[in-house]
Structure 1
Amino acid sequence: MSLDPTNAEEGHYLIQRLSDYNPWWEQGAGAAATDEFVSLRSDFYGLHKSIITDENHVFGIAGPDGIGKTDLLRQLISALIDPDFVEKFYRHPGFRDKAHEAVVPPEHILYIPLSATPLIQIQAPAQLRAAIDHFETHYCHSGSETTPSYIILDDLGAITPGNGRGQRVDWATTLADLVTDNSTRRFVLTAVSDSQLKPPLATADLTSTDADELATVSSMLPMKFTDFARFRFRELETTASDNRFSASKARAAFAEAVSTGNATQLANRLNTEVENAVVSGTDLRRELSNYLTIGGFVGLRLAAAGVLTGDQLAPVLRGRGELDINAVQQRALTAFRHMLRERGPELGAVEEPAGLERLCALVAAEHPSTSVQFTTLTDLFDIDRRTLRRKYFGVLSKLYALAPSPEYDNLRPRSVRVYLRDPGIANAFMNRDLNGVLGADADVEAALSKSVLFDHTVRLSYLLNDAHDPKRGVVKFWNGSVGEIDFIPKFNGRPVPMYWARQRNVSNLIDQRNQPGGFAALLEFLNSDASASERDSLDTARYETMTETDIRKRRDYVTNDYHGTLDGDEVYDGEPPFGVMLTTDHGDSTAPVTVHESDGAARPIVRIPQWVYLRLV
């Protein structure tokens, strides 16, 4: 028997597996995963809302391996075919009605896991076309002229690596043709990084006369603190929205305060949201300690095992539960390391992907909470500075694994801050006893707290800034003459300096403002014109050169209503509206967020306990 190439070219490998991948074609809504989940991450609600309300035809989800993208897709499919899923998870009557209206017949869903077998990766564009034709001929035919169909392609990275001739699978052109052929098709794509989705989609012809763009890409990161709290406290999801902390209202108040400089209005809004909260600050502080111990990767595995909700977590952490927490921790680490080795070369031509693991392990072991000299890192890894920045930092940033924080207002910085984005992975690298992580070493606790605050500040920057803002996702640190400021994100062109002060209050710190330290640096920044010479480039992001289209869109954006200024290809910061002091204490039970104005600072300082600040995202 000879090899028959038509099996790939005509899509037989994929077509013969479609019924296994799509059990709802035969079982209907009974195949939905509605009863398998007790809580949903906020990523789901954002994606589902976009898919059923936006005009886009292509929705990309980018996120590292092991964070639940496939579970998110199963939830999405359930929401699209099962009215009971909508009733179970939607509390707001208005959008619940929209979600019910968006339910489609189960045979209008096509799910293809591209990494399931190498056979369906051969001649992938041809197989996809054949599979979609089979799907629409034999299944998706009832009301197809008006009812949308959803074609879900899970793990596009499985078909994007270059072949021996350095070419890449042109899936985006195939996708553009499929969108043009049938306007009722909606595509949902997943990949390990947005760099696998955005450039191909940007070059494909995915535009029409009705919209400038028909594709959007969102990032899905390891489970954040708010999602962790959702699993721990079911009432955060089941209580009416008016009686819960509203992250969207809190973010809107933050954005407004950045624009107007009215810090008091921000504090009032945050305190109002805290007052509305159904879970006390004391309970949330306790769960923040658990989150610093477990993190998102391990937390997701515990949620899947059913021990994150309810009273089972504490015994598991103490080693008294039925689940071996150390085994779960190490499985998460093994998957994380595998991702670095397998995905790293795909994203940045890293000659030695093991170096990515070593850098993450080094940060976990040394847990630096202040800046590190570039020469220290280049000497340790025997690489030059360009390789460190573009390949190590660049690739790890794309994988949302580790991120550098550049030095503010320094064109040739000698140091950098380095953060592992997920605290559970840092603990797993060192095989730390999860029952006593935070009490054993104050330096470890500080490093874990700062890594979580950095991670959530980056997320906040992405949420509040326009997609074409060149400072979006940029969080730097500042090395003043009397100390360092931990985080300086930029919002619509204005920097907001943030100092992590642990349990010290503003009044005591102002009394000691002449002593060297981070708070003195915060005052120095607010009283200086450091922002006047700080700039970010229009043509680079995460150490990569932007496309001409993106550069044009960035330029158009910053020339309009923007607090920064444009000079050639560089965008300068505007003035800071206020400073922020993040603390680990509870704060006043009725008004934990306070505003302080004194002779020591030219602008207000907002004191925000970190358990409140982390809930903004």
Structure 2
Amino acid sequence: MTASAGIQVKREFESIGMPDDDYDIQPILPEKFRDYLFTLYPDLEEDDTRVSPTSLRIGENSLPAALESGETESLVAELRQKYEKVAAVERRIQSQVVDYLAMGGTISYDLDGATVSAADLTEDDYARLREDVRDALYQEVPGFESIQTIADLERLCALAARNRGTEPFRYQELVELFDVDRRTIADSYLPALAELYLLTGVTEYNNSRPRSVRLYLRDTGLVTALADGDAATVRNDFDREADLARVAAFDHTMRFAYGINATQGNDATPSVQYWRGRDGEVDFVFEIDGTPVPIGLAYQSREREESLEAVREFKKAYDAPVGFLLAGDTVRGSQPIEDLGESIIQLPYWLYLLLC
């Protein structure tokens, strides 16, 4: 039921000599926003309100089709059709975003559908999550022969929780902090945490010798557990909520990229990076068959213009056919799914999470 369980299963099968091709392992990741929402409101899974991402992955109205043709009309129409299916319950969906950001997708496995608000969680719930992660590290990391100091991985997770993906860390900073060489950080610590689906290190797009790395925890509930201890700060501080929105958007973009590439027959682990231009930063960039897709995040209204200009700059620099701008509730447009021109599509943040 966890990513680390896959490692345990593999070890047990290896101990009895079972060949790799006699079994398959499918890790179950923390709940996505979509899973959490359908647990709360099962009626949203009915045909008239169920929003499926399949048509965005493959077919004439899909993102790959838009990348190939350079035309976004069909993709925009498809996104609008999906929005219309849940337009009547938009407020119900929006109201759950902050709770999901505070809770994340791991704590919810213990809730049995009883808890509908992060306000119902206690400090003990988050303390238990911290202990579960610590146990996973000490049980599973010894299997990674290159890891000598498991406590360093805990500290990396704590750094990521406090930073919340706001700024990249220079590798040299991490080298000095942990008293190890850069290779240990880049080739041992970060891959081990990524294999456990705890944390992903992200470098700048199209930079063959990056000097910095962003640290994204894959579960916003773990960010809350390590940085705050309870959900109160997240629920009462919009800036903190916006930071967690970035972390959740990264995790869902990883899943979005994997889903599309898998449908196209590319089963490799997805790579989601960031990009810095003269006019701002593109939060996420992933590729489909070598074609980059830039995604800017404007969870707060003050972020919109800078994010939009960064996406425009990226599209020109890399001749990217399609770009996206994810807008939070405070960002207003003429319509929910808006064609901003230059093949840039603005869509609500909550809808993006629902489609990933």
Which residue number corresponds to residue 3 of structure 2? 63
The answer as to 2:54 corresponding to 1:245 is no
CA distance in structure 1 between the aligned counterparts of 2:2 and 2:221, rounded to whole angstroms: 21
1:485 to 282, 306, 311: 282
> What RMSD, in angstroms, separates the aligned Cα atoms of the two structures?
2.8
Q: Note the alpha carbon deviations across 1:414-457, whole angstroms, 9 max, x for none.
A: 11211011000111112433134143261x32321111111011
Deviation at 1:477, TM superposition (A): 0.8
Alignment map for 1:258-273 (pairs within 5 Å)? 258-273=67-82
Given that 1:471 and 1:490 are in contact with CA atoms closer than 8 Å, whether structure 2 keeps it comes out as no
Mapping of residues 24-423 of structure 1, within 5 Å? 63-64=3-4, 155-157=8-10, 159=12, 169=15, 171-173=17-19, 201=20, 204=21, 217-237=25-45, 239=46, 241-252=47-58, 253-277=62-86, 280-302=89-111, 304=112, 306-308=113-115, 313-314=116-117, 317-318=118-119, 325-423=122-220
Question: Which deviates more, 279-288 or 455-464?
Answer: 279-288
Alpha-carbon shift at residue 492 of structure 1 (Å)? 2.1
Deviation (angstroms), 1:372? 2.0
Describe the shift of the 1:470–1:248 C-alpha distance in structure 2 as closer, same or farther (beyond 3 A): closer
Alignment gaps of 5+ in structure 2: none
- Offset, 1:475: 0.5
Deviation at 1:582, TM superposition (A): 0.9
Larger radius of gyration: 1
Instruction: Tell me, yes or no, if the aligned pair for 1:406 and 1:477 is still in contact at 8 Å.
Output: yes
The SS at the match of 1:498 is strand
Alpha-carbon shift at residue 259 of structure 1 (Å): 2.6
Deviation at 1:504, TM superposition (A): 3.5
**C-alpha spacing 1:416/1:471, structure 2 compared with 1 (3 Å):** farther
Partner SS for 1:495: strand
User: What's 2:340 paired with?
Assistant: 596
Which residue identity does 1:307 align to in structure 2?
A
- For 1:382 and 1:468, how far apart are their aligned partners in 2? 41
- For the 8 Å contact 1:472–1:491, the answer to whether it is kept is no
3-state DSSP of counterpart to 1:171: coil
SS at match of 2:96: helix
Structure 2 residue 260 is matched with structure 1 residue 464: yes
Q: Distance in 2 between matches of 1:271 and 1:171?
A: 52
Q: Is the 8 A contact 1:348 1:395 kept in 2?
A: no
> Hey, what's the Cα distance between the residues in 2 that align with 1:518 and 1:366?
20
- Is the Cα contact below 8 Å between 2:245 and 2:299 reproduced in 1? no
SS of 2:114 mapped into structure 1? coil
Give the secondary-structure state (helix, strand or coil) at the position aligned to 2:266.
coil
SS of alignment partner, residue 496 of structure 1: strand
Q: Distance in 1 between matches of 2:43 and 2:10?
A: 37
Q: CA deviation at 1:335?
A: 0.7
Contact 2:287–2:293 (CA<8 Å) still a contact in 1? yes
2:308 paired with 1:519:
yes
> For the Cα contact (< 8 Å) 1:480–1:525, is it kept in 2?
yes
- Cα deviation for residue 374 of structure 1 reads 1.3
Runs of 4+ in 1 over 3 A off after TM superposition: 215-219, 466-472, 503-506, 586-591
Partner of 2:292: 495
SS in 2 for 1:408: coil
Question: Could you list the per-position Cα deviations for residues 292-329 of structure 1 after superposition, in whole angstroms to 9, with x for gaps in the alignment?
Answer: 01001112212x2x413xxxx34xx445xxxx622122
After superposition, give the CA deviation of every residue in 1:191-216 in whole Å (9 maximum; x if it has no partner): xxxxxxxxxx2xx5x6xxxxxxxx65
C-alpha deviation, 1:278, in angstroms: 7.5
Q: Say whether 1:454 aligns with 2:250.
A: yes
**Aligned-residue offset at 1:365:** 2.2
- Alpha carbons 2:271, 2:286 under 8 Å: kept: yes
SS of structure 2 residue aligned to 1:411 = coil
Kept in 1, the 8 Å contact 2:299–2:330? The answer is no
Distance 2:302 2:52 in 1: 26
Q: Deviations over 1:111-143 (max 9, x none)?
A: xxxxxxxxxxxxxxxxxxxxxxxxxxxxxxxxx
Q: Corresponding residue for 1:95?
A: none
Task: Provide the C-alpha distance between the structure 2 equivalents of 1:429 and 1:472, rounded to a whole number of angstroms.
Answer: 27
DSSP-derived class of the 2:216 partner: strand
Q: Shift of residue 279 of structure 1?
A: 6.0
Q: Is the 8 A contact 1:62 1:218 kept in 2?
A: no
Q: Determine if contact 2:127/2:229 at 8 Å carries over to the other structure.
A: no
- Indicate if the aligned counterparts of 2:258 and 2:267 stay in contact, CA closer than 8 A: no
For residue 291 of structure 1, what is the amino acid of its counterpart? Y
Residues 383, 497 of structure 1: alpha-carbon distance in 2 compared, 3 angstrom cutoff: same
- SS across alignment from 1:437: helix
Select the structure that is richer in helix. 2
1:228/1:348 CA distance change after superposition, 3 Å: farther
1:37-70 Cα distance to aligned partner (Å, 9 max, x none):
xxxxxxxxxxxxxxxxxxxxxxxx87245xxx9x
The more displaced of 416-425 and 444-453 is 444-453
> Any idea what SS the aligned residue of 1:497 has?
strand
In structure 2, what is the equivalent of residue 103 of structure 1?
A: none
Identity %: 29
**Alignment: residue pair count:** 352
Distance change >3 Å, CA 589–CA 476, structure 1 → 2: closer
Please report how far the alpha carbon of residue 256 of structure 1 lies from its aligned counterpart in structure 2 after TM superposition.
2.3
- Structure 2 CA distance for aligned equivalents of residues 579 and 172 of structure 1: 46
Amino acid at match of 1:231: T
Measure the CA separation in 2 of the matches of 1:361 and 1:431.
11
Partners of 2:53 and 2:136 lie apart in 1 by 31
Question: Aligned equivalents of 1:412 and 1:590: distance in 2?
Answer: 42
